[in-house]
Amino acid sequence: MLDDYKKIGIGLTGFGMLFMVFGVVFLFDRGMLAMGNLLFLSGVTLVIGAKKTLKFFSARRKIKGSSCFFGGILLVLYGYTFFGIILEGFGFLNLFGDFFPIAINFLRRLPVIGTVLNMPGPQQLVDKFLIQRRLPV
């Protein structure tokens, strides 16, 4: 069961992602991108808690991704939106890259999206980008 803070956090994270997409669609609008960053970070903080958020972003193996992500946010705030989004995207992939295989496997189990992702063309494309860790047998 989700408490109210987690429900609000999920909404804020979703709106943050939406604002980020609209900021890119509207030719790297600085205000939309900054609002998306703010909503995304506050949403993540509400979902997993302040201590766990700080622990996540300051973990030793994620320090490169965190520095790129926050450096990208600073570039966006200073007006260099194109370079900020590129740097932020690189940091995002380094921070949340381990989560993508889990998300793709979840999406493959959904009725409509799963059917599309399990078709031969999209399945090969998605499998190509997913890093599967297998035991060397």
pLDDT tens digit string along 12-55?
999 999 999 999 999 999 999 999 999 999 999 999 999 999 99
Diameter over CA atoms, the chain: 52
Residue where the block lists tokens 């890119």: 24
Query: Quick one: pLDDT band at residue 58, thresholds 50, 70, 90?
Result: very high
For 26-119, where are the alpha helices, taking DSSP H only?
A: 30-48, 50-57, 63-78, 81-96, 100-108, 111-117
Q: What is the pLDDT of residues 97-114, one digit of tens each?
A: 888 888 888 888 888 888
Q: Which amino acid is at 12?
A: L
Chain mean pLDDT for the chain: 88
* Backbone φ and ψ of 34, nearest 5°: -65, -40
Q: What size, in residues, is the chain?
A: 137
